[in-house]
Amino acid sequence: MKNQVQLITYVDRLTGGTFIDLKSMLDGPLQGLFGTVHTLPFFTPHDGADAGFDPMDHTTVDPRLGDWSDVKALSQSTDVMADLIVNHVSADGAPFQDFLEKGDSSEFAPLFLSYSTIFPKGATEDDLLAIYRPRPGLPFTNVTLKDGSKRLIWTTFTPKQIDIDVHSEKGAAYLESILMAFARAGIKSIRLDAAGYAIKKSGTSCFMIPETFEFLEKLASKAKTLGMDVLVEIHSYYQDQIEISRKVDRVYDFALPPLILHALFTGDAKPLSDWLAISPRNAMTVLDTHDGIGVIDVGPHADGRPGLLDPDAIDALVKTIHQRTRGTSLQATGAAASNLDLYQVNSTYYDALGRRETDYLIARAVQFFAPGIPQVYYVGLFGAANDMDLLARTDVGRDINRHYFNKDEVSQALQTPMVQALINLIQFRNRHPAFNGTFKLDQPTSASLILEWRNGTQWAQLSVDFAVMAAKIRHSTQDAEQTFKVEPNYC
């Protein structure tokens, strides 16, 4: 995987069009900015109940976006990452519909998990309470088959997303077919979505248990054989995340976004410093994603172990986000909107900071200097505000941060001083050789940080003072050194 900034985007929401339009964008106004483009689910249908994360057919490109030849054409000019949705398929897909029609006589019956599959002798109260789920309630949906019989089907996320038995012959063949389609299209990297929930076992949390690691290792090995790198998406307690990072190729640093917000809101950089000292070095760093701003990753463990932030600090963080967004994030978070998640606040990162441009650029600079490969979400690339019109139309909380851009909006955003400064930061991160070296962290005061990279005689240093909201970057050049401020018109 290239050590360059990545773009993560929906195909149609960045360009208003197709893979061909996305390629034109990356070959045109965004040329040279991104080493990899992570194209969020583009399968049939790309606009389902969960914006593509509930595929009816994971091996087919939604024809409204293009076909596999268009994906391959994009991969020949920019490395492409795609999602392998490990845990579930769409309730509207042909396999599950066949199961509803035929029940146990369906050839696809072994593909799906039911209550009785995991608990053939029934479950105790402790068994059910042990199951970890990122949403309220138990992970089962009551479905009625054509013959009138009822089944409790395992649905970790929503009733429209039906969990599969990855160990079944059908499940293994299904995942294999996806990997082969990706390889033929020239996809260089895959993200294993919802991978932590893939293995269910009675008497456990059914989340990142030892059998999960065994499964991920085997799946990653198959991907590597086909020439693809593997990124695992997991929200978890920070010490668990560190342990997970030792067993997989790459993980997301989901603790970074709320810790940067905490430092910017309070002037207290110690929690951020403490994390950067121990964070996984094989991370993918983010500020914003297609989901919300997570807080579970900095919170306490269920067993009582303290988190990176204490509960009062997390409460203050969430309240400050709602204040900075003038209440718009509150309308999209928790019980205020559907697709309820327990661990996130729905907002663009720019709005979460109250649209303070210097603060936003400082956050990006810290992200780019943090250990790992930076990934920039398309909404964040253009510093967009919360999309309240889209939220009103869909009543899906995460849509507040999933704006549909047209080409004119992109052109206008690219001319703004803040976006121009962000582009300059991206180019600096991509080109300076120091980022291929070693990382060093210093904290001169409780409100300041110095993040430094060195590679032989080449070096780059970011100094941030959260007390006065100022940052600068000093770096080596061929002849001497240069310094620039992290703010619009200076980056």
* CATH code of the domain covering residue 131: 3.90.400.10
**DSSP code at position 384:** P
Active site residue 193: yes
C-alpha distances (whole Å) from 28 to each of 6, 14, 31, 32, 130 are: 16, 14, 5, 9, 51
Q: Tell whether 490 is covered by a domain.
A: no
Q: Around Cβ 12, how many Cβ atoms within 10 Å? A: 22
423 and 467 assigned to the same domain: no
Residue 447 within a domain = yes
Last residue of a domain, one of 134, 162, 190: 162
Instruction: Tell me: do 255 and 149 sit in the same domain.
Output: no
Residue in 97, 94, 10, 98 with CA at minimum distance from that of residue 52? 10
Residues 246 and 109 in one domain: no
Catalytic residue among 21, 163, 165, 193: 193
Query: Where is 75: in which H helix or E strand?
Result: helix 68-75
Residue 273 sits at φ, ψ, to 5 deg, of -65, -45
Residue 452, token pair as written in the block: 């430094």
Assess if residue 244 is contained within a domain.
yes
Half-sphere exposure of 248 (CA within 13 A, CB side): 33
Domain identity same for 428 and 442: no
Residues 233, 288, 387, 399: which is the catalytic one? 233
Do both 279 and 138 map to the same domain? no
Total domains present in the chain: 3
Annotated binding-site members for sucrose: 88
Residues 409 and 447 in one domain: no
Which two structure tokens, joined as six digits, stand for 14? Answer: 């960045």
Question: Binding-site residues for substrate, please?
Answer: 50, 191-193, 233, 290-291, 341-344, 398
Q: Which domain holds residue 326?
A: 6-86+169-436
Would 336 be classed as within a structural domain? yes
Q: Is residue 153 part of a domain?
A: yes
- Using alpha carbons, list the distances in angstroms from residue 180 to 40, 88, 195, 226: 18, 18, 19, 8
Q: Are strands 43-44 and 438-442 parallel, antiparallel or unpaired?
A: unpaired
Along the 491 residues of the chain, how does pLDDT read in single tens digits?
899 999 999 999 998 789 999 999 999 999 999 999 999 999 999 988 778 888 898 999 999 999 999 999 999 999 999 999 999 999 999 999 999 999 999 999 999 999 999 999 999 999 999 998 877 789 999 999 999 999 999 999 999 999 999 999 999 999 999 999 999 999 999 999 888 899 999 999 999 899 998 999 899 999 999 999 999 998 888 998 898 888 888 999 999 999 999 999 999 999 999 999 999 999 999 999 998 898 889 999 888 999 999 999 999 999 999 999 999 999 988 765 544 455 689 999 999 999 999 999 999 999 999 999 999 999 999 999 999 999 999 998 899 999 999 989 999 999 999 999 999 999 999 999 999 999 999 999 999 999 999 999 999 999 999 999 999 999 999 888 999 999 998 88
Domain boundary among the residues 107, 128, 162 is at 162
**Tell me, what's the pLDDT at 336?**
58
310 and 279 together in one domain = yes
Query: Is 233 among the residues known to form the active site?
Result: yes
Q: What is the pLDDT of residue 335?
A: 63
CATH code at position 471: 2.20.220.10
Q: Which amino acid is at 120?
A: P
Q: Same domain for 220 and 196?
A: yes
Whether residues 123 and 42 fall in one domain:
no
215 lies in the same domain as 72: yes
Phi, then psi, of 90 in degrees rounded to 5: -75, 140
- Which residues are annotated binding-site positions? 50, 88, 191-193, 233, 290-291, 341-344, 398
Flag whether 174 is in a domain: yes
- How confident is the model at residue 28, as a pLDDT? 93
Same domain, residue pair 81 and 106: no
Residue that is last in its domain, among 135, 162, 189: 162
Within a domain: residue 1? Answer: no
Query: Which residues make Cβ contacts (< 8 Å) with residue 443, sequence separation at least 6?
Result: 269, 270, 273, 449, 450
Which domain CATH number covers 388? Answer: 3.20.20.80
Report yes or no on 156 lying in a domain: yes
Question: Comparing C-alpha atoms, which of 89, 134, 449, 417 is closest to residue 269?
Answer: 449
Whether residues 59 and 176 share a domain: the answer is yes
